[in-house]
Amino acid sequence: MVNIAVLGAGVVGMSTAVCIQNQIPGARITVYADRFAKDTTSDGAAGIFAPMMKKVKTKTKEEFRKYIEDSFTWFDAICRSVDGPEAGIQKISGNDVMLKREEWPLLSNIVYNFREMTEKELSTYPDHIRYGWAFTTVMVECRKYLPWLMRRFRERGGQVVFGTIDSLQQFSTGYDAVVNCLALGSREVFNDRTMYADRGHVLRVHAPWMKHFLIVSMPGGDQTYIFPGQENVVLGGTHQKGQEGMDYDDKIAEDIVGRVAQYVPAMKKAPIERKWVGLRPCRTEVRVEKEICRVGDKSVKVVHNYGHAGQGICLSWGTAIRATELVRELLHNSPTRRQSKL
């Protein structure tokens, strides 16, 4: 029997574990993590499927397109299935508005009904909004989706171990391959000093009358957004590069509400149900690759799948498919892209 360890239980780690189960029948897969479900960064993520390359880098545009195509196909299939509500996935329509015309994004041929907004539609927003897109996509609420993935994983024989991961040494024996989905944890365990945190704040408010999403995109990449979920509405957001404190800043909450209210005034009175702060795991580009790591006198076959920044949900299933392909290659002793020594 093939034994595979998956390190990390956020949306990327759990997606990869389930994908390996699907593609490598009979493999014994164990997920190791010190945080699960509600304690992960994924749990608080906004969850809208609206990926943009300016938010995260991959080696090529084609690679990015493949990741988001595969992810959307997966989420859309769940949404249309009997598991949709339980998995926290629903279809949602809305607008992405901006100050000036931008190039159509790659998702325009992936999501449903993507089009330019009409002048009449744009006239409902403040005068500085000059352009926008309308489309239908999916909302993936990880507070439900992560437990759904975990149940699927366990029902198919997957094993879970809670504990701190200090080094690859812990997995140098007993496993045919190790999959690294540790996100920011890769800085210490795999000495990846290109990783950095991008702190984000969101609010969840009670506004059941809000049925459509709204994204206000600024030239520098910042966004103000409203994402209706199954139980509440997500308001955001912020980007604080290099900040890693986990205390919520109430002044930021006031700023988010103020920004949102410029576009939907009624949001100013929406009762706040939850405040959340999380750290996006960023690097120069998403890392999905294989290598042979030296640990003392042993060689450990490793597949990396991390560095998704604020696009973890949008890229998760696509990169899981690629990571699974790399695991299969390692198990068949294919040449690796690089080598390192730990």
Mean pLDDT of 1-28: 96
Strand 177-180 to 159-162 pairing = unpaired
d(CA 30, CA 8): 10
Residue 35 has pLDDT above 90, yes or no: no
Contacting residues for 181 by C-beta, under 8 A, at least 6 apart:
6, 7, 8, 10, 12, 13, 16, 305, 306
Q: What is the separation of C-alpha 194 from the centre of its chain, rounded to a whole number of angstroms?
A: 19
Q: Which domains does the chain have, with CATH numbers?
A: 3-341 (3.40.50.720)
Mean pLDDT of 34-56: 84
pLDDT band of residue 221 (cuts 50, 70, 90) is confident
Q: Please report the pLDDT score of residue 124 as a whole number.
A: 95
pLDDT band of residue 336 (cuts 50, 70, 90) is very low
d(CA 241, CA 196): 8
Mean pLDDT of 325-333: 93
Nearest to 325 by CA among 66, 129, 75: 66
pLDDT 10s digits, 256-306: 999 999 999 999 999 999 999 999 999 999 999 999 999 999 999 999 999
Residue 67 has pLDDT above 90, yes or no: yes
Q: Please report the pLDDT score of residue 206 as a whole number.
A: 97
Q: Please report the pLDDT score of residue 335 as a whole number.
A: 43
Q: What is the separation of C-alpha 298 from the centre of its chain, rounded to a whole number of angstroms?
A: 33
d(CA 250, CA 248): 6
Q: Please report the pLDDT score of residue 119 as a whole number.
A: 96
Residue 339 has pLDDT above 70, yes or no: no
pLDDT 10s digits, 194-207: 999 999 999 999 99
Mean pLDDT of 148-160: 97
d(CA 127, CA 133): 16
Nearest to 247 by CA among 311, 199, 198: 199
Other Cβ atoms within 10 Å of 120 Cβ, number: 7
**Residue 241, SS3 per DSSP:** strand
pLDDT band of residue 340 (cuts 50, 70, 90) is very low
pLDDT band of residue 327 (cuts 50, 70, 90) is very high
Contacting residues for 75 by C-beta, under 8 A, at least 6 apart:
49, 89, 138, 140, 317
For residue 27, give both structure tokens: 């493999």
